[in-house]
Amino acid sequence: MNRVVIIIAVGIFFLIDLYVFQAVKVLTRASSPNTRRLVYVVYWVIPVVSLLMWIVTQFLLPPDALGRVTRQFIWTSMLIPYFAKFFAVFILLFDDMLRLGKWVAHFFQVPAPADAPVEAISRSEFLMKTALAVGGTTMVGFAYGIVSGAHDYRIRRVKLPLKNLPQQFDGLTIAQISDIHSGSFFNKTAVKGGVEMLMAQKPDVVFFTGDLVNNTADEVKNYIDIFDKVRAPLGVFSTLGNHDYGDYYQWPSLEAKQKNLQNLMEAHRLLGWNLLNDTHRVLKVDGDQIGILGIQNWGTGFIQKGDLAKAYANTQDLPVKLLLSHDPTHWNEQVTARYKDIDAAFAGHTHGMQLGVELGNFKWSPVQYRYQQWAGLYQEGNQFLYVNRGYGYIGYPGRVGILPEITIFELVKA
């Protein structure tokens, strides 16, 4: 990262700390001197230590001096507190605006009578306490999302009614996982537990819809012996996501980047998965057959390497066609617009932003303001799209509200 950017970022973080600290000082003024000193020390030690660790990793250490998990811990320990303080700052700014308005209004008001009632708690003090409570709750919530939510795998069952489904495929089960992001994992035992949950469902087919790694193919090396247990009688079919191409990593040469992609594809082979790069496979059961199509990544605002026309070629006579396409924006951009006989598409990519609320049929996440389809089942006419919430995580190593997902589909005759 550019040194000037780091210096500016540290300056902004310090101003945020200083601003929130004013509220801490006000709300502890009635405490004993020793209590105030303890609170002040604890308040400043956490950001100072986290910022120093961040600066050391950016300025003083070579890029490969620390492992991915250690770097992820340093980033997380810094960003979560500031994300929480960001919410507190908004409330404190609102409080300061009110106080400014009150100060201005003071010049135009008649003085209050001497016997006017006094508020038990001032509005300003209430807002300060609210700001610190919101910030503290946010920080605790994000910490809990790392400890618990990151690997709290959930089985989601979906019936998929398809109009032209052949008799032999009625009742077929498909498991879908997506967005493994093996470079982010820090708990190998938990990851293995999720795979065991998947295999306990005994699916007939498994789909993996992209993003096996964050940046480099070697990230999956230590997880081959876990994910190679993902098998199914009719096969495991996979495709590439935007992160699999290494576009977010600084390679020494174009050849190194191309070699990385070859290694990534080789990892799919070692896992025993059928990687579908703009091609298709025909599933046959007792004379009946359906098509499985898979394309490279194609997404609005992201890499667009996928060639659906190539994958679709020679599948016109198949009664049912199922598409693996990592980015859900592809569905409206190409599938529903041009390929009306693709019955269902399976995507991932959004992660549900790893943050949101799901209560019954209600779901909300900030990611919905970027993606029209971001989690669950969508239908347009006779065509379906399912967006998997993802198996792994990236950036923030946890999940709050939007939990990691293993989807089990049952194909049924519509």
209-232 confidence digits (pLDDT tens): 999 999 999 999 999 999 999 999
pTM confidence score:
0.83
CB 398 within 8 A of CB 351: no
> pLDDT value at position 120?
46
Q: How far apart are CA 406 and CA 402, in angstroms?
A: 13
> pLDDT value at position 28?
86
User: Which positions of the chain have pLDDT values less than 70?
Assistant: 1-2, 63-65, 106, 109-124
3.50.50.60, 3.30.450.40, 3.60.21.10, 3.30.470.10: CATH of 155-413 = 3.60.21.10
When the pLDDT of each residue in the chain is averaged and rounded to a whole number, the result is 89
Do you know the residue count of the chain?
Answer: 414
Q: How many CA atoms lie within 13 A of 328 on its CB side?
A: 27
Q: Which helix (H) or strand (E) holds 269?
A: helix 254-271
> pLDDT value at position 118?
47
Q: How far apart are CA 361 and CA 298, in angstroms?
A: 29
> pLDDT value at position 25?
85
> pLDDT value at position 65?
66
CB 312 within 8 A of CB 280: yes
Q: Is 261 left (phi over 0), alpha (psi -120 to 50) or beta?
A: alpha
> In sequence order, what DSSP letters do the residues of 311-370 get, joined into one string?
HHTT-TT-S-EEEE-S-THHIIIIIHHH-TT--EEEE--SGGGGB-EEETTEEE-GGGGT
* The two structure tokens encoding residue 20: 């929130």
Alpha helices in 30-176 (DSSP H): 33-55, 68-106, 123-147
Per-domain residue ranges for the chain?
A: 3-147, 155-413
> pLDDT value at position 141?
87
